[in-house]
Amino acid sequence: MAIVEESEYKGSPVLVLKNTQEDRYPFSFGVKKAKLMLEHLEDIKQFVQKHDKEKAPRE
């Protein structure tokens, strides 16, 4: 399960997502990008379904 933390970058709040506590390359974003993602959540879900190799049937 991913680790979710709040942090700060140049005085602005950011959300940090990590695969593990030792994750060298966490994914972070601020409020402006979070709002954009929420507005397009269904598009993001469709993108993941279309390209998710873990769920794709193997031949």
Each residue's pLDDT tens digit in the chain (59 positions)? 899 999 999 999 999 999 999 999 999 999 999 999 999 999 999 999 999 987 756 55
Residue 59 located in a structural domain: no
Cα–Cα dist 31/50, whole Å: 27
Q: What's residue 36's pLDDT?
A: 98
Q: What's residue 1's pLDDT?
A: 83
Residue 39 located in a structural domain: yes
Q: Residue 24 in contact with residue 16, Cβ under 8 Å?
A: no
Q: What's residue 39's pLDDT?
A: 98
Q: What's residue 56's pLDDT?
A: 58
**φ, ψ of residue 23 in degrees (nearest 5):** -55, 120
Cα–Cα dist 27/14, whole Å: 10
Residue 41 located in a structural domain: yes
Q: What's residue 25's pLDDT?
A: 95
Q: What is the DSSP string of 35-57?
A: HHHHHTHHHHHHHHHHH-TTTSP
Q: How many CA atoms lie within 13 A of 47 on its CB side?
A: 6
Residue 42 located in a structural domain: yes
Q: What is the residue range of 34's domain?
A: 3-51
Counted domains in the chain: 1
Residue 58 located in a structural domain: no
* pTM for this entry: 0.78
